Amino acid sequence: MSGVDALHRDEIPPGTLYLLILRTLARSGEMHGYEIASSIQQISNDVLQIEEGSLYPALQRMLIKGWVTAKWGTTAGNRRARYYQLTAAGRKQLDVEMSQFERVIGAITRVIEAV
Amino acid sequence: MDWLRELARRLSMLIHRRQFDADLEQEMRLHLELRREEQLQSGMTADDARAAARRRFGNATYLKEESHLAWGWEWFENVAQDIRHGLRMLRKSPGFTAVAILTIALGIGATTAIFSVVNATLLRALPYPQAEQLVSIEADFPGVGARDVGMSEPEWQDLQHSGILEYVSPTWFDENNLTGSSQPAHVRILLVAPNYFALLGVKPQLGRAFHPEDHSPGLLEEVVISDGLWKRAFGSDPHILDKSVRLDTDLYRIVGVMPPGFDAPGRTAEERNIEVWAATSFYGTPLPDNPPRNRRFLPTAVARLKPGLSTAEAQNRVDALVASLQKQFAGDYPLQSAWSVRLVPLQERVVGNVRQSLILLLGAVAMVLLIASVNVANLLLARASARGREMALRQALGAGRRRLITQLLTESVFLSLLGGIVGLVVLLCTKQYLLRLLPESFPRLTNISISWSVLLFALVSSLVTGAIFGLAPALHAGRVDLTHALKEGGRGSTGSGEQARTRRMLVITEFALSVVLMISAGLLLRSFWDLLNVRLGFSPQNVIAVRTRLPAPNFPENDVYATAAQETPFLREVLRRGRTLPGVQEVAIGDTASVPLDRSLRELKVISEGQFLLAFEGRDFQCDQPAAVERSSVTPNYFHLLGIPLLRGRFLSESDDDKAPQVAVINEGFARTYWPNQDALGRRFKRNRADSPWVTVVGVIANARTESLAQAEVPQIYLSLYQSESRRLAIFLRGHLDAAAIPEQVREQVQAVDPTLPISGSQTLDETVSASLTERRFSMEMVASFALTALLLAGLGIYGVISYMVSERTHEIGIRIALGADRRSILRMVLRQGLGLAIVGAAVGLVGALVVSHFMAGLLFSVRPTDPLTFACVALLLIGVAVLACYIPARRAIRVDPLVALRHE
């Protein structure tokens, strides 16, 4: 239990949730919410663990912005699930977020290395 | 365009928000289940798996709400919820709902009705293209107190070529005899410059207008007619163009028919309902060939400013032009007269007459609306205390203060909108009937409609009203003391002192506003009453005036009535024949100016002839007092027929004809103004023109209010009709007459003498006198009905407050009675409370009325704006109403059965 809790405390840097979702969707095309959450977790080797529910308000905001679209489909286990897919605007946004992220990370790295 | 797509997405969410919530729910459930299954596979117990899934997911309810809020429709859902809730509350108390909605409907409906009139007359531009560029030109001699003296032909040319004005057209209103159809008809004609229609920017529906640049001498031989005349006299003949008509025996060709609804811009109904337009450049036969600068025979003029020029700029340039003309033609513009030319926005000229009364009405109706909303505020306050428990409960459950205030405000605005809709529907249904209440002489009557701007006005005033009357209860609701309110349990009421104070304030406001309205109405009513009962100085009873008109052809050789000598035989013959008609005892003839109190004709006289400027023997006009007076021409019997007594000298006589020296009878007002403390008999005056003969005063008659009911002593001159050339005539008949048959009987007799003459405008003098009061009567009646409404509402308001107070104090009153209080003292206690409010309200109102009535001074007659009698009566009346309104609940109070009252708890 304590291991899980420790992982839990490695929260994602603020503002990167959109980036993570966009990147995940860009990689794998259509996904439903659970798949997105699991995918982020797996690829980060269980380091990045988001509060899974917070995906949903974020997805709503992305729907409003028109970065993603959603449609209902069925899962492998034959259950109804809402699948999200990147739009052209979403792809553009991904580039924006990526370059912004790299700029910030680069700057942080430079500061750390200067010490 | 991104924001547009975003809006579309948000809207589609709003429409499908139930589906949206269900989808989200399902999506989240799936997530939780999948996570739980995964945990199960990793070997957890079912309970642990579920708990872990939940922990990792977070607070589902919160997240769901967060997702929902992301779409930004929270406010809308709140409003929708409040309206639903409000509707439920309204349905639950139908009595309250009906009273509130009807009160608001009354207020909004009345206000909107008045606004639609104001909008059509004062606010909306005249129905001509770029109407803001149109002005009326008015010339004055302020130095000698003469206004609107008209313009001469050279002055018109100066203005036309000044570069300030695009077009200038003199307008000359006249009446004419249209012959050629079955019956000679009397038509209203406007003599204009050929550029008139180009100036207004209006095209005929058929044919063409005049050629604006035509500057040929004399009258053009073409006329444009109105849609009305085309339909009435020519049966909408589609081949009317190029047909000939005879106007005053002269031949004209019809070249155009104006569209329906086209009105000439004029001050009076006569001036607006023109039927024939004829064009001239105002020189050449029948007008003078070279009209001199000082003959101002062009009575009125309209003009269009050069594009891009404001009225003020144009006025500055006209002032400069006037100054230079005065220098150049010093002989024609004596310095003392201080000639000036004003550019008045045309709209101002058309509606100037009714502006003040309309603003008065708008003010009055706004007060009614205010009183109505105060009443509803009172009702809402009473209900708010009944709903105190509901509010407290919601607050206890976590509703914010702001949320509660919004909810109550939404409810009241919604209520107000409902009231506004009801008011508007009633207005639309009764529109035809309401329009008939307006005097016919009202300008721009046909423009009055429920237009978009009127609807917008109704909407905005509903919203504002709702916000105003909802504010007090809403603010109170926000301040509920929770523990207190919830503890009080079944009684529901908080009975807070603050709320009671607010309600008392509202009633005081209502009373104060009603007093202001009642006093305004009272003053108007007294003015009207005094006008009705003024001593006329002549007797209009049993007199009918019928009008006819002698033609004035353009060419003197066609004129059979060119001189007084030619006209006299006609007059004598009509008099003789008139006396033979059944029931007729006396007959007289005068020009139309002699018809007592006929406002339309008086305006017409001023419009078409300007004022009659006098010069007195032995005095110099230039440095003398202004002498612009009212004059009429009459046959000798006129004075006896109207019962105006002779004071000195003699009446006119049958021998005062064209061969005898010119004589006049004057009234006492004239004698006193121009020959104070002297004997007027034998004095001489003349029209202020070189070629006019001297006129000798032969008699002085008593003053009669034939010019104006409001003025006792208007200087007047009566010339002998046998010595003046008047073409517009009124035949006066006194006796026991059949008003319906008279016009036909007179027509027969007149046409037996000259078959080309038309008969028009038959009216009893009583009707004429009454018609002269139409506009006053209208504003008086409207303000009075608003005041009565206000009184009723104020009465209801105080009744509501006092009965509420009584029901609240039932318990206390029960105890008092049980303890042996005298029932009379209870009655006194309740009455005192109500009367206190009424007296404070009345006192505040009296002060307000002093301010308001001051602005009404111009509308009053013979009463001062501070008339103590009116003030006292209104105050007493209002207090009487208050006593009555309080007495009913007070009686209920003394009937309180102490047993029931105490068990009530």
Q: What does the pLDDT look like over B543-552, one tens digit per residue?
A: 999 999 898 8
Nearest residue to B265 via CA among B151, B449, B128: B128
pLDDT recorded at residue A14: 66
- Does the CB of A12 have a partner CB in chain B at under 8 Å? no
C-beta neighbour count of B21 within 10 angstroms: 13
Mean pLDDT over residues B709-733, rounded?
88
Lowest mean pLDDT among A81-90, B444-453, B738-747: B444-453
* Total count of domains within chain A: 1
DSSP 3-state of B239: coil
The alpha carbon of residue A110 is apart from the nearest alpha carbon of chain B, in Å, by 35
Query: Do the Cβ atoms of B631 and B718 come closer than 8 Å?
Result: yes
- Does the CB of A74 have a partner CB in chain B at under 8 Å? no
What's the pTM? 0.76
Tell me the CA end-to-end span of chain B in Å, nearest whole number.
66
The alpha carbon of residue A103 is apart from the nearest alpha carbon of chain B, in Å, by 27
Determine, for residues B24 and A56 on separate chains, whether the beta-carbon distance falls below 8 Å.
Answer: yes
C-beta neighbour count of B163 within 10 angstroms: 10
Determine, for residues A80 and B71 on separate chains, whether the beta-carbon distance falls below 8 Å.
Answer: no
Q: What is the mean pLDDT of chain B?
A: 85
Query: Do the Cβ atoms of B568 and B657 come closer than 8 Å?
Result: yes
- Does the CB of A66 have a partner CB in chain B at under 8 Å? yes
> What residues make up the domain containing A90?
2-114
Query: Do the Cβ atoms of B753 and B589 come closer than 8 Å?
Result: no
Residue B52 to residues A32, A115, B39, B58, Cα–Cα distance (Å): 20, 41, 8, 10
pLDDT recorded at residue B423: 92
C-beta neighbour count of B711 within 10 angstroms: 12
Domain ranges of chain B: 2-72, 142-338, 355-532+774-903, 543-771
Of the pLDDT bands very low, low, confident and very high (cuts 50, 70, 90), residue B612 is low
Tell me the two tokens of residue B379. 């009702």
- CATH number, domain of A14, equals 1.10.10.10
Per-residue pLDDT reduced to its tens digit, B268-298: 778 888 999 999 998 887 888 888 888 888 8
How does DSSP classify residue B122?
I
Query: Do the Cβ atoms of B505 and B479 come closer than 8 Å?
Result: no
DSSP 3-state of B760: strand
How does DSSP classify residue B119?
I
C-beta neighbour count of B632 within 10 angstroms: 24
The alpha carbon of residue A112 is apart from the nearest alpha carbon of chain B, in Å, by 32
Tell me the two tokens of residue A94. 């991904």
Residue of B nearest to A59 (CA): B67
Mean pLDDT over residues B783-787, rounded?
88
Per-residue pLDDT reduced to its tens digit, B6-22: 888 888 888 888 888 88
Query: Do the Cβ atoms of B879 and B886 come closer than 8 Å?
Result: no
Tell me the two tokens of residue B812. 């206390």
Residue B664 to residues B205, B539, B653, B694, Cα–Cα distance (Å): 50, 22, 10, 10
Per-residue pLDDT reduced to its tens digit, A25-81: 988 888 998 888 888 888 877 777 678 888 888 888 888 888 999 888 888 888 888
Edge-to-edge strand list for the sheet holding A68-74: A31-32, A80-86, A68-74
Nearest residue to B854 via CA among B839, B869, B841, B866: B866
Provide DSSP, B786-814.
HHHHHHHHHHHHHHHHHHHHHHHTHHHHH
To which H or E segment does residue B428 belong? helix B401-435
pLDDT recorded at residue B507: 85
Mean pLDDT over residues B105-122, rounded?
90
One-letter amino acid identity for B438? L
Nearest residue to A40 via CA among A50, A32, A31: A50
- Does the CB of B63 have a partner CB in chain A at under 8 Å? yes
pLDDT recorded at residue B570: 93
Q: How far apart are CA B888 and CA B801, in angstroms?
A: 12
Mean pLDDT over residues B124-142, rounded?
89
H-state helical runs in B201-345: 227-234, 269-272, 311-328
pLDDT recorded at residue B605: 54
Residue B568 has pLDDT above 50, yes or no: yes
Mean pLDDT over residues B307-314, rounded?
92
pLDDT recorded at residue B315: 95
B65 conformational bin, left if phi > 0, alpha if psi -120 to 50, beta if neither: alpha
Residue of B nearest to A63 (CA): B9
Residue B483 has pLDDT above 70, yes or no: no
A43 phi/psi in degrees, rounded to 5: -60, -30
Residue A3 has pLDDT above 70, yes or no: no
Lowest mean pLDDT among B362-371, B741-750, B827-836: B827-836
Residue B688 has pLDDT above 80, yes or no: no
